[in-house]
Amino acid sequence: MQGMNGLRIGMLLLTLGLASGCVAGGAQQQSGADKGHAMATEWTQLRQAKGHFAGGEWRHDLDAWQGRKHQLMQELAAEVLAARGDTPAVLALLGEPDAKVTIDQADYADWQRRAEWQGNPGPLLWSYHWRGQHDQLLLAFSEGRVSAVGWLYAWE
């Protein structure tokens, strides 16, 4: 399992490196790959931790507005949108989503309407919980690639 995750992360980092252009040179590409790997590792750790919205104690890094988990998810969202990654690349970086909704499901129209989108949402939405189902990062896919990212906030 660990080896498969490493392979997926490696594939995404390669994709991100190619998408961001090979203009920069080898040292900067390696630096970007290292940053992507570090973000993916930190995301995995924070995702497994239980904060207030997952039945645990309040933890600033997990539960606070602009806490570390929120900031990291924003950075990862920007990365996958810029790379227009395909589903295997996104899975490599973020892991399995907490929920998947297709255009023919009831939640689709609600999520599409309520989310703050960057890009054009496609017919498939993936949800990654920030603070449980309370606040979520949504990734939209069109033709197998990320077409938009959005935040579905409870605004409480």
Main-chain phi, psi angles of 115, to 5 degrees: -75, 150
pLDDT of residue 87: 94
Q: How high does pLDDT run on average in the chain? A: 83
Split into its structural domains, the chain has a count of 1
pLDDT of residue 15: 42
Q: Using one digit for the tens of pLDDT, what is the confidence trace for 103-145?
A: 999 999 999 999 999 999 999 999 999 988 889 999 999 999 9
pTM: 0.78
How many CB atoms lie under 10 A from the CB of residue 143?
9
What domain range includes position 83? 2-152
Main-chain phi, psi angles of 126, to 5 degrees: -115, 140
* Joined tokens for residue 88: 């295997």
Q: Using one digit for the tens of pLDDT, what is the confidence trace for 7-30?
A: 344 444 434 443 444 444 444 555
DSSP codes, 58-74: --HHHHSTT-HHHHHHH
CB 87 within 8 A of CB 144: yes
